[in-house]
Amino acid sequence: MAATHRGGRPTTAARAARRRAVLHWIGVHALAVAAALFFVLPFVFVLLTSLMSDQQALTRDLVPRTWQWENYTRVLDTPGFLTWWRNTLLYAGLGTVLTVVSSIPVAYALAKFRFRGRRLAMMLVISMMMLPPQVIIIPMYLFWAKEMDLAGTLWPLIVPMAFGDAFSVFLLRQFLLTVPDEYLDAARVDGCGEVRTLLKVVLPMAKPGIAAVALFQFFYAWNDYFGPQIYASENPAAWTLSYGLESFKGAHHTDWNLTMAATVLVMAPVILVFFFAQRAFVEGVTLTGVKG
């Protein structure tokens, strides 16, 4: 709207527009920096405290006087810490594989088959997804503890993942809706059965969706506190990182430096994985919220 005269000096309107654009740029970036401080400073303070001495962690200092990197080896040497890592990897790793394998055929059927009750099935999937885990925990705990005698292990958390996790089914189905039907029809015309179509045509195209589901499920297990609290709390050998971390604070209740070092050790893998798999995460979040 504000044009510059060719070869002449800029008009007042053009200058005003330019000034507004510069002010806008400064304003947006100032706000962004302020917001960045809010999001980043907690990480920075946690890191700095994790490197302080035991005494200094109890003061109001913000920066370590001596940088005690050995805090991290002290945490790793804490009895149990490495067991919690192993248990977490078992729960998250095995659980993720089972979830992906069992959720793919369900999501495929819900996205691509036409059958009576499809809408109802989708509504039930969403209801399951929205169900707080506490709602069904009484009978579930009684079943695993009394009937199966598996309290104090992670199996009550891992086994259910072999039966199509609702959130993963939902996320994968949203993804598969975006795969054009023409590809499937072409495969069927070529004489592929549904299983072959799924394996040879759909799965290769669904890789980003599967990656998103796997990541979300892995971090769900990594972060899960309630499940291990219910099933594993009586047996420290079955604790996971999330559950162990909180009791770690209990055992070292004055040592904020060690607690923060342990906190860093629990956060770090999640953040590392994020940098390798940014797109899958963002795509997953978008799919749950927008496309449908």
Q: How many angstroms separate the first and last alpha carbons of the chain?
A: 39
Q: Collect all residues with Cβ–Cβ distance below 8 Å to 274 and sequence separation of at least 6.
A: 281
Q: Tell which positions 164-203 bind other proteins, by CB under 8 A.
A: 164-166, 169, 177, 194
Question: Does residue 16 touch other proteins according to CB under 8 A?
Answer: no
Residues 242-261 that bind other proteins (CB under 8 A): 242-243, 245-251, 253, 256, 259-260
User: Which residues within the stretch 201-230 sit at the binding site for other proteins (CB under 8 A)?
Assistant: 219, 222-223, 225-226, 229-230
Interacting residues of 266 by C-beta distance below 8 A, sequence separation 6+: 241, 242, 245
Of the residues 141, 150, 153, 188, which one makes contact with other proteins according to CB under 8 A: 141
Residue 218 in 3-state DSSP? helix
In whole angstroms, how close is the CB of 259 to other proteins at the nearest point?
Answer: 6
Applying CB under 8 A, the span of 6-14, 64-72, 129-137, 200-208 interacting with other proteins comes to: 129-137
- Does 153 engage in binding with other proteins (CB under 8 A)? no
d(CA 169, CA 213): 9
Give min distance, CB of 240 to other proteins, in A.
10
Q: How far is the CB of 7 from other proteins (least distance, A)?
A: 27
Given candidates 68, 71, 103, 217, which one binds other proteins under the rule CB under 8 A? 103
User: Exposed, middle or buried, 141 (CB in 10 Å: 0-12/13-18/19+)?
Assistant: middle
Helix (H) or strand (E) holding 166: helix 166-176
- For position 125 contacting other proteins by CB under 8 A, the verdict is yes
Residue nearer to other proteins on the CB measure, 40 or 186? 40
- Report the interhelical angle of 256-276 vs 241-251 (nearest 10°): 160
Identify residues 40-79 at the interface with other proteins (CB under 8 A): 40, 42-43, 45-46, 49, 57-60, 62
Nearest of 253, 83, 245, 114 to residue 184 by alpha carbon: 114
